């Protein structure tokens, strides 16, 4: 089948939240808070998508790039990106250092905890998208609901964890980190017809779709991840709405209602310009009838 709706799996974390709506049903108050919602995918595809819900700062960490990860026997490294869905007024994400530092000074700061003050804690707001290349020292702040899109690698090196007893990986982290400020991301690029490119020229492309109408998705050999966060769409005859994660691996019809917002990601560095083809009206009507 060219279209797969992924099942969601809740992961309880002490730094998580109970208030998950409107993305998902709230977590019952007699259960631990939910920090992550993973979308289960047994096929080990190149990307992984999850939601994060934070009530406290997450650990200071870093991920290896492709070369460093492959030298350790892994298939790929870990670039990642965050789509901020909601943020409290003082919410931040740490990205890189406030100034260039020598490696040994970074090590010392990680050991004594002062690395928390050496990071650039960037204020973030709803709708903001950040692409974080591998090697970027980072930490997710409190008060956030985020979609995280990443290369599919379960490998994290922790610099610092606010005095907890969790394992740190300082030697490994030092080997793969950039010891300077975050370079930042280019501004979103509008490519017309309700499509904006949020990230490109990295390990995956991200787009924001605000278009409406009936189309044929034509990803070619690429695999698409579609993430609706507002409105509604019908994909290959199946309704898709807020909180869904859908993988598209072949040509499929999609009909998007007015006012919808869908985030899209796919591996590679370049935008697939012809990924959507408007559907003739008669075909659109057949697609809609098939969903009834």
Three-state secondary structure call for residue 267 = strand
Beta strands (DSSP E) in 118-194 are 119-123, 129-132, 138-140, 144-151, 157-160, 189-192
Residue whose structure tokens are 């809740």: 10
Distance CA 172, CA 68 (A): 10
**CA dist., res. 114 & res. 105, Å (int):** 10
CB 27 within 8 A of CB 37: no
Active-site entry in 158, 195, 203, 208: 158
Which sign, positive or negative, has the C-alpha torsion 31, 88, 155, 157? Answer: negative
In 3D space, the residue among 51, 36, 81 whose CA is nearest the CA of residue 243 turns out to be 51
Give the C-alpha separation, 23 to 245, whole Å: 12
Question: Is 118 within 8 Å of 137 (Cβ atoms)?
Answer: no
Buried b (16+ CB within 10 A) or exposed e, 142-157: bbbbbbbbbbbbebeb
What distance in Å separates the CA atoms of residue 13 and residue 51, rounded to the nearest whole number?
A: 13
Distance between terminal CA atoms of the chain? 20
Catalytic status, residue 158: yes
**Closest Cα partner for 62 from 176, 162, 154?**
176
CA angle 136, 138, 144 (to 5 degrees): 135
Catalytically active residues are 158
């Amino acid at each position: 089948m060219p279209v797969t709706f992924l099942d969601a799996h809740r992961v309880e974390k002490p730094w998580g939240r109970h208030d998950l709506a409107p993305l998902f049903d709230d977590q019952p108050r007699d259960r631990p808070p939910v920090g992550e919602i993973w979308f289960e995918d047994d096929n080990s595809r190149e990307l992984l998508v999850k939601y994060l819900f934070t009530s406290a700062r997450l650990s200071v960490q870093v991920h290896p790039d492709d070369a460093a990860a492959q030298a350790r026997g892994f298939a790929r490294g870990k670039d990642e990106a965050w789509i901020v869905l909601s943020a409290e007024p003082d919410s931040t994400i740490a990205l890189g250092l406030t100034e260039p530092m020598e490696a040994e000074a970074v090590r010392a700061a990680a050991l004594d905890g002062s690395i928390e003050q050496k990071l650039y804690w960037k204020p973030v707001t709803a709708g903001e998208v950040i692409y974080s290349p591998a090697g970027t020292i980072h930490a997710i702040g409190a008060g956030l609901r985020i979609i995280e899109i990443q290369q599919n690698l379960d490998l994290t090196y922790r610099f610092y964890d606010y005095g907890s007893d969790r394992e740190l990986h300082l030697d490994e982290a030092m080997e793969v980190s950039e010891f300077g400020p975050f370079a930042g991301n280019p501004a979103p690029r509008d490519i017309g017809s309700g499509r904006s490119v949020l990230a490109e020229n990295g390990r995956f492309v991200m787009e924001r779709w605000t278009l409406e109408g009936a189309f044929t998705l034509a990803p070619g050999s690429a695999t698409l991840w579609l993430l609706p966060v507002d409105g509604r769409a019908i994909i290959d005859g199946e309704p898709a709405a807020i909180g869904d994660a859908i993988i598209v691996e072949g040509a499929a019809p999609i009909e998007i209602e007015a006012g919808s917002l869908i985030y899209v990601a796919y591996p590679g560095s370049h935008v697939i310009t012809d990924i959507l083809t408007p559907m003739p009206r008669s075909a659109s009507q057949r697609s809609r009838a098939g969903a009834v």
